């Protein structure tokens, strides 16, 4: 009898646990997410309104922003809709004025994005981006050379298409074409990881590589009065983007391919195509002229947004351009435009309400960063915060709107160069390789049935790449960036 007691007790305990779990089995996945949303909203409200030293308007602004983050992270509600409703709440409660609300939708950032989407549409519709990738891929002799060549051709796309999801959409047909020439499923999976990874990592190379860069640039001018030109960004970001892209390629091949697979022969001659068409030549010429004007902004005085809109007008001009205006505007992501405009208002509301200054005086206090004299410690903290921000804020633009204001106030309190702080934090926010939901570019390549990668593959890659990124930031800060004047 005694020997049966432990077994009897175990069975009884197991039965009780099963009954307890069955009590919650009636909850659907949607209900669980709803409860999580309500719980996080409740915690946000309690946290904000029990704090001291913050005005009522500041508390309300922080709460509205935290609520937006919670909804962005835990619900399937459209991100633009959430941002717009949040701004309207602030407007109706006096957090922002009607003038601020409407001015954001007419800012140079919005116009720049509209022009850039028209440019991206021309590059896509004429087949220029596809041709560039095909020509390079056709020269690959084996899998290893294919990976290096694709990395090489994906980097310049950050100058041509202002959206990571747009670049993913343009290159996805190329992935499918190349994947057909690869029989090994593991190799196809590595290729599906490579292309979005390079698209994301190379974003920092260009000021126009992501809408979040433009939001950050706008906030830099708003808070510090300083600015960063296209050519400056190019000087700081292009070398890092190139090195980080090739490092990503090397890591992916080391993690997911063996030596035999890397040396496997590849025949992609069927990807070669006819000479450049007239629309392709026109688009290429206009893109090169726009790039030249972007680089020489300080000489002619035309801002990036002005040049971009000018290029868009030429590309859609009757009898001259390569596409009709009504077709071009169909490719403009108006949803993203509204989202950027709304998040600009949210970011500026954090500034005007004093919330950003309060955050920087309290959140960073625990780390002694306010009193530290160590630039290495500041560099390390900024990099870690920005590199991990995609984990708890999945929206690229939202990360910029949330983190840039307090980080720039930190720069002011420590007498740091605001341009350096802005660039380093933006670089870290561009990194989002941990979860597919962190970037639409990743989701495009994950949804490729048997050829796509798995979330576990991405976690494996990110566990290595986040350390590589951290090491590269430290290396570049004490070498190239210092040599060209980017330092604290």
* pLDDT tens by residue, 327-340: 888 878 787 778 77
Cα 48 to the center of its chain, rounded Å = 28
Distance CA 285, CA 456 (A): 43
Distance CA 172, CA 16 (A): 51
- Domain hosting residue 191, numbered range: 103-483
For the chain, the C-alpha Rg in angstroms (whole number) is: 25
Instruction: Using pLDDT thresholds of 50, 70 and 90, give the confidence band for residue 478.
Output: very high
CA triple 406-409-410, angle to 5 deg: 90
In the predicted model, is pLDDT for residue 470 greater than 50?
A: yes
- Distances 353 to 23, 60, 342, 456 between C-alpha atoms, Å: 45, 9, 16, 42
Per-residue pLDDT, 467: 93
Does 22 reside within a domain?
Answer: no
* Residue of 319 and 34 predicted with greater confidence: 319
In the predicted model, is pLDDT for residue 27 greater than 70?
A: no
Does 229 reside within a domain?
Answer: yes
What region does 368 belong to: left with phi over 0, alpha with psi -120 to 50, or beta?
left
Greatest alpha-carbon pair distance for the chain in Å reads 97
Domain count, the chain: 1
In the predicted model, is pLDDT for residue 230 greater than 60?
A: yes
Question: Around Cβ 391, how many Cβ atoms within 10 Å?
Answer: 14
Q: 157-178 pLDDT, tens per residue?
A: 888 776 776 677 667 666 766 7
Does 214 reside within a domain?
Answer: yes
Q: 244-274 pLDDT, tens per residue?
A: 999 999 999 998 888 887 777 766 555 455 6
Distance CA 471, CA 474 (A): 5
Instruction: Using pLDDT thresholds of 50, 70 and 90, give the confidence band for residue 476.
Output: very high
Q: Which two tokens stand for residue 207?
A: 């000021």
Does 70 reside within a domain?
Answer: no
Does 287 reside within a domain?
Answer: yes
Average pLDDT, the chain: 78
Distance CA 429, CA 424 (A): 9
Per-residue pLDDT, 6: 44
Per-residue pLDDT, 58: 81
The answer to whether residues 291 and 159 touch, using CB atoms and an 8 Å cutoff, is: yes
> Averaged over 467-476, what is the pLDDT?
93
In the predicted model, is pLDDT for residue 99 greater than 60?
A: yes
User: Which of 150, 132, 155 lies closest to 266 in space, CA to CA?
Assistant: 150
The answer to whether residues 198 and 207 touch, using CB atoms and an 8 Å cutoff, is: no
Distance CA 330, CA 125 (A): 12
> Averaged over 463-467, what is the pLDDT?
91
Percent of the chain with pLDDT over 90: 10
Does 223 reside within a domain?
Answer: yes
Per-residue pLDDT, 29: 60
The residues, any chain, with a CB within 8 Å of residue 183's CB and separated by 6 or more, are none
Per-residue pLDDT, 469: 92
Instruction: Using pLDDT thresholds of 50, 70 and 90, give the confidence band for residue 76.
Output: confident
Distance CA 240, CA 282 (A): 31
Does 84 reside within a domain?
Answer: no
Residue that is written with structure tokens 């949803």 in the block: 335
Instruction: Using pLDDT thresholds of 50, 70 and 90, give the confidence band for residue 346.
Output: confident
Does 406 reside within a domain?
Answer: yes
Alpha carbon dihedral 330, 334, 335, 338, in 10-degree steps, equals 180
In the predicted model, is pLDDT for residue 1 greater than 80?
A: no
Q: 442-461 pLDDT, tens per residue?
A: 776 765 455 667 777 888 88
- Can you give the three-state secondary structure of the chain, one letter per residue? CHHHHHHHHHHHHHHHHHHHHHCCCCCCHHHHHHHHHHHHHHHHHHHHHCCCCCCHHHHHHHHHHHHHHHHHHHCCCCHHHHHHHHHHHHHHCCCCCHHHHHHHCCCHHHHHHHHHHHHHHHHHHCCHHHHHHHHHHCCCCEHHHHHHHHHHHHCCHHHHCCCHHHHHHHHHHHHHHHHHCCCCHHHHHHHHHHHHHHHHHHHHHCHHHCHHHHHHHHHHHHHHCCCCCHHHHHHHHHHHHHHHHHHHHHHHHHHHCCHHHHCCECCCHHHCCCCCCHHHHHHHHHHHHHHHHHHCHHHHCCCHHHHHHHHHHHHCCCCCCCCCHHHHHHCCCHHHHHHHHHHHHHHHHHHHCCHHHHHHHHCCHHHCCCCCCCHHHHHHHHHHHHHHHHHHCCCHHHHHHHHHHHHHHHHHHCCCCHHHHHHHHHHHHHCCCCCHHHCHHHHHHHCCHHHCCCHHHHHHHHHHHHHHHHHHHHHHHCCHHHHCCCCC
Distance CA 174, CA 195 (A): 10
Per-residue pLDDT, 441: 74
Q: What are phi and psi of 142, to 5 degrees?
A: -150, 180
């Amino acid at each position: 009898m005694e020997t049966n007691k432990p077994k009897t007790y175990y069975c009884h305990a197991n039965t009780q646990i099963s009954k307890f779990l069955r009590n919650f089995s009636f909850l659907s996945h949607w209900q669980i997410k709803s409860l999580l949303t309500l719980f996080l909203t409740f915690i946000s409200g309690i946290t904000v309104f029990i704090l001291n030293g913050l005005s009522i308007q500041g508390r309300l602004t922080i709460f509205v922003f935290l609520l937006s983050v919670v909804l962005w992270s835990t619900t399937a509600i459209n991100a633009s809709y959430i941002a717009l409703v949040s701004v309207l709440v602030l407007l109706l409660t006096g957090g922002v004025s009607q003038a601020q609300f409407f001015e954001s939708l007419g800012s140079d950032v919005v116009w720049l994005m509209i022009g850039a989407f028209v440019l991206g549409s021309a590059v896509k519709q004429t087949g220029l981006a596809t041709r560039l990738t095909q020509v390079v891929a056709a020269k690959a002799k084996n899998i290893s050379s294919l990976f290096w060549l694709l990395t090489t051709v994906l980097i310049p796309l950050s100058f041509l298409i202002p959206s990571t999801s747009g670049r993913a959409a343009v290159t996805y047909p190329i992935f499918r074409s190349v994947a057909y020439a690869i029989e090994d499923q593991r190799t196809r999976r590595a290729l599906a990881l490579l292309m979005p990874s390079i698209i994301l990592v190379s974003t920092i190379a260009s000021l126009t590589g992501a809408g979040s860069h433009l939001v950050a640039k706008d906030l830099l001018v708003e808070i510090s009065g300083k600015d960063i030109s296209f050519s400056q960004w190019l000087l700081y970001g292009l070398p890092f983007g190139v090195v980080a892209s090739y490092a990503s390629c090397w890591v992916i091949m080391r993690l997911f391919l063996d030596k035999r697979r890397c040396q496997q022969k590849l025949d992609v001659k069927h990807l070669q195509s006819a000479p450049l068409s007239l629309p392709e030549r026109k688009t290429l010429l206009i893109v090169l002229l726009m790039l030249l004007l972007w680089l020489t902004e300080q000489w002619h005085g035309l801002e990036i947004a002005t040049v971009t809109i000018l290029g868009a007008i030429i590309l859609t001009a009757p009898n001259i351009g390569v596409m009709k205006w009504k077709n071009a505007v169909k490719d403009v992501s108006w949803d993203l435009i509204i989202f950027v405009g709304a998040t600009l208002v949210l970011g500026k509301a954090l500034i005007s309400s004093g919330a950003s200054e309060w955050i920087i005086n309290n959140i960073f206090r625990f780390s002694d960063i306010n009193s530290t004299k160590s630039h290495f410690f500041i560099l390390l903290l900024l990099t870690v915060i920005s590199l991990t921000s995609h984990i708890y804020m999945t929206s690229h633009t939202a990360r910029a709107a949330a983190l840039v204001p307090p980080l720039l106030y930190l720069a002011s309190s420590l007498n740091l160069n605001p341009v350096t702080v802005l660039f380093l934090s933006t670089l870290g926010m561009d990194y989002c390789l941990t979860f597919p939901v962190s970037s639409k570019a990743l989701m495009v390549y994950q949804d490729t049935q048997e050829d796509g990668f798995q979330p576990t593959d991405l976690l494996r890659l990110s566990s290595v790449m986040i350390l590589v990124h951290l090491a590269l930031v430290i290396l570049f800060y004490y070498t190239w960036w210092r040599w060209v004047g980017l330092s604290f």
